[in-house]
A and B are shown apart, each in its own frame.
Chain A
C-alpha cells in the first residue's frame, strides 16, 4: 500500500515536471507566428493522412470514364462533386491528393524516424568509443554521402524491386548518415565539456554518461535534423515515385500523380498543380517547424 502511494506520488511529480517543461518549450515556440502556421499545416497533413478515408469525398481508385478530365469546381464544366477535378480515367483528384498524403507522410515519418534512431546510435557509438569503430562508421557515412542518391535508389530499386517497405528501407539507408555525423560531432565536443568530466568524477558510469548526460544534450540538434530529413524524405519519395521507382500506380502518391499530370500540363493543369502544391506546402511546413523547434528547444536561448 505504502509502496503504491509512493509510486503514485512519484508519477504525479514526474507528470507535473514534464508538463512544465513542455509548457516552457511551447510558449517559446508559439512566440513566432510562422511557427504556428507551420505547425498548423503539419498537423493538417498528418490528420489528413490519418483520416484519409473519412476526409476523402470519393474512393481514390474508382474510375468513371464519363467524367474524365473534369476541371476544378470553380472553372467551366467543373462540378461541386469533384472540387479539384478528375484525372484521365475520371478519378477524383482531391481524394487522390488526400490518400497521397497518407503515402507521403507515412513513408516520410517512418523512414526519417528509423534513420534518426539508427544514425544517432551510430553517432553515439562512434563519438564515444575508440578510434577503430569510429573511423569505420565515419568512412561508411562518407561513402554514403558521396553517392548521388537518385542513382543509388534506382539501382537498389532495380535490383530488389519497388514497394512500400522497400522504399522505406532505401530512404532509411540513405538518410541515417547526417544523423550519425551530427551526433558524433556533438558527442566529441560535449565529451570535452567540464560537466562530463565532473559527472565522471562524481561516479557516473560510461553508459549513463552516454545516454543520460550526452544524448539529451544532442536531442535538440537531432530533432532539427529529423524535421529536415523528413522534408527530404517526402521530396525523395515523390521523386522516386515520379520516376516510376517508388509507389506503383494505381496507389495514389503525390509523385506518381505528378508523373501522369506532366503529360497534360497544358490542357489539364490541375492534375499536377495540386499534388505539387501539396508537396511544397508540406515540405515548407516541416522545414519551418524544424527551425522553430531548434530555437524553442535550446535552453540557452530561454530567459
Chain B
C-alpha cells in the first residue's frame, strides 16, 4: 500500500511535526489559551485521530497548522514542520500555494463549505485552475472524473448542480473531491461526519480512508466521537483544554487507556443493548481557558485523583511521558517525581 519511495522517506522524517504549539486568542475578557503546548507527529500515509470534547482546541490546532487563524487568534510560540520546512516561517504567498495542493482541509458543514452560487463542478475545477493553471474546459472534465471517483452517480449531470441541490452526504463527497483533487500529502478533516446521518457517516469515513490510502495521503481526523476513531485511525491523540493528555496506537488506547480522562471518555460511550439507569459521564465541564488550574488541567474533574488522594495534581502539571510502545500519557499516576510514590507507574493502569 505504501510507495517504496515514500516509505524510505518515512524513516527519515515525519510528514508533519508540531512542537509545543501555543495559540492564544487575545479577547477583551483575557487571553484564551485555546492551544497550549501541543505536540503532534504525523507520519506519511497515516491516519491520526485527534479526539476531545467541544472547546478543547482541536479545531484551533488544525487552523494553526493551516495558518488560517483570524484576529484575535495568534500563534504565540511553537514549531510546525511540514515535510522538513517550517510552516510558520513561510510567507503568506508560499502558504497560499501550500494550501489545497499539499495540505487540504474539509469541514463539519459540507453544504455551507461550498460556494452557493457556483455549480459543484466549477468548484472542483477551480482547484486545477488555481493551482495548475489549467483551462476551464479541461478542468471541468477532470472535475467530472473526480466526482465519479468519490461515488457520485451520473457525475456529468451532477457536476452542474448547485450545493443546495445536494444532500449533506453528497456535498461532503464533493468537498472530499475538492480537497483530494491535487493529491495532497496531508488532509485535515475537521469533524467531517458530525453533521451527517449515521448511515451516511460510515460511507463518508470509508471514502476518506480508501481514497487517502490510494493516493498516499495522511489524514488528521478531528472528531469528538471515539467510535469514529476506533474505525478509522492508526494512532490517536486525546486532547483536553489545549493540551495532549494521551497518545497511543488506536488498539492500545482502547485496550490500555491510561489517562483517567481517556478512560472517562471510553466509559461514557453508551453500549448498544445494555440498559443503564444513567449514562456514564465525566462530571463537570471543560475549564475556562482564560483561567486554567495550576496543576493538571483535568484535576478538578478527575475521579482517580480523588480516589488516590493526590495532592500534586492540583499543584504541578505532569509531563507527557512514554509508558509503552508509542504510548505517552500526561498524568501523575504514571509519572514519578522526586521519589514520590507512583501508584500506577508499572502496570498499564487500566484497572483504576
Contact = CB atoms under 8 A, between A and B. Distances in A.
A203 B116 contact: no
Interface in B92-150: 93, 96-101, 104-107, 109, 112-118, 126-127, 130-131, 135-138, 140
B115 A194 contact: no
Contact of B135 (A6, A199, A204): A6
Contacts of A213: 115
B178 interface: yes
B97 to A, nearest CB: 7
Contact of A201 (B105, B126, B131, B140): B105
Nearest to B127: A202
Contacts of B240: none
Contacts of B116: 195, 217, 299-300
B179 interface: yes
Contacts of A6: 135, 137-138
B68 interface: yes
A23 to B, nearest CB: 13
A243 B109 CA distance: 57
Contact of A13 (B93, B118, B136): B136
A14 interface: yes
B140 to A, nearest CB: 8
B96 A205 contact: yes
A197 interface: yes
B130 A204 contact: yes
B179 A202 contact: yes
Interface size class of B (residues with CB under 8 A): 35 or more
Determine which residue in B98, B114, B126, B138 has the highest number of CB atoms from chain A within 10 A of its CB, and name it: B126
B164 interface: yes
A194 B117 contact: no
Contacts of A193: 112
A195 B98 contact: no
Interface in B165-180: 175, 178-179
Interface string A213-247: 10011000000000000000000000000000000
Contacts of A199: 115
A143 interface: no
A203 B97 contact: yes
A248 interface: no
A62 interface: no
Contacts of A79: none
A27 interface: no
Contacts of B127: 202-203
Nearest to B66: A201
Contacts of A300: 116, 164
B112 A201 contact: no
Given A201-B105, A204-B130, A299-B164, A14 B136 contact: yes
Interface in B51-90: 66, 68
A198 B162 CA distance: 16
Contacts of B136: 10, 13-14
Given A202-B100, A204-B130, 15 more contacts: A194-B112, A195-B112, A195-B113, A195-B116, A197-B113, A198-B105, A198-B107, A199-B115, A201-B105, A202-B99, A202-B104, A202-B105, A202-B127, A203-B98, A208-B130
4 interchain residue pairs of minimum CB distance:
A203-B100, A202-B100, A201-B105, A198-B113
29 contacts: A6-B138, A9-B137, A10-B136, A13-B136, A13-B137, A194-B107, A195-B112, A195-B113, A195-B114, A195-B116, A197-B68, A197-B107, A198-B105, A198-B106, A201-B66, A201-B104, A201-B105, A203-B96, A203-B98, A203-B100, A203-B130, A204-B100, A204-B126, A205-B96, A216-B117, A217-B117, A299-B116, A299-B117, A300-B164
Interface of A: 6, 9-10, 13-14, 193-195, 197-205, 208, 213, 216-217, 299-300
